[in-house]
Amino acid sequence: MTHMPLFIDLSNKKVVVFGGGHIAERKAREFCNYSRTKVVSRTFTPELKRMAGDGEIEIIKDDLTDIRRYFQGAFLVIPATNDPKLNALIADYAKTRKILFNKVDVAGDVIVPSIISSNEITLGVSPLGKTLAAAKFLKTRIEEILDEFSSMCRLQEEIRFTLKRIIKNQQDRRQMLYKILSDEEVWIGLSRSYDDGLKAALDIVNEKPQ
């Protein structure tokens, strides 16, 4: 199975989580800020009940003897019950209805990555269903440098508007932005403060040709 990383707008999509335990709770928390998330189960953790009370998710109490009704209009389903046979049945039914599914034990159609986000950058890190330790380590390392990359994105956007006023050729502007991106002094400046990085970048822009 080959997975392609994508960013998908889930704001008007329905995600259905089957199960009401701690795994289902984790899955509901992952999706509730991005989609219309429904959790279907016989019982629910206190946190799931709180999330429902706060309007973050919708919970539906059901004995799960007839799961088919909950697939109507679903974009993604997540089998997260404590019954492996039921989870397999949910996944198989999703396949027959051509609905995406995310499994908690093995790779399904959809793998949910660890999300690393700032104002300018959102990254997803996934071991593609294999060891989680490597993904957690990589996430920690990325978080350490993400602030500087976010500052560079902000700087590039600011410099881009400056360059539009003084450099007419788009290819020349692109080369200048790349020169700034790869300049060590700009990165050193950003490690101190945004203003120091911006000053170093503007020094490059204002350099007189030799």
At 210, is the pLDDT very low, low, confident or very high (cuts 50, 70, 90)? very low
Residue from 182, 184, 187, 180 nearest 202 by CA: 180
Say whether pLDDT at 193 is over 80: yes
Provide the residue type at 40 as one letter: V
| Strands 114-117 vs 122-125: parallel, antiparallel or unpaired | antiparallel
Question: Taking the CB of residue 130, how many other CB atoms lie within 10 A of it?
Answer: 10
Instruction: Write down all domains in the chain, each with its CATH number in brackets.
Output: 14-112 (3.40.50.720), 135-205 (no CATH)
What are the pLDDT digits (tens) for 104-149?
765 567 877 777 777 667 777 776 656 667 777 877 878 777 778 8
DSSP at 202: H
Q: What is the pLDDT of residue 134?
A: 72
Q: What are phi and psi of 120, to 5 degrees?
A: -105, -25
Q: What is the pLDDT of residue 141?
A: 79
| Residue 111 or 198, more confident | 198
Say whether pLDDT at 5 is over 90: no
Encoded tokens for 193:
């403060």
Say whether pLDDT at 44 is over 70: yes
Q: What is the pLDDT of residue 107?
A: 59
The percentage of the chain sitting over the pLDDT mark of 90, rounded to a whole number, equals: 63
What CA–CA distance (Å, rounded) separates 159 from 68? 54
What are the pLDDT digits (tens) for 56-66?
999 999 999 99
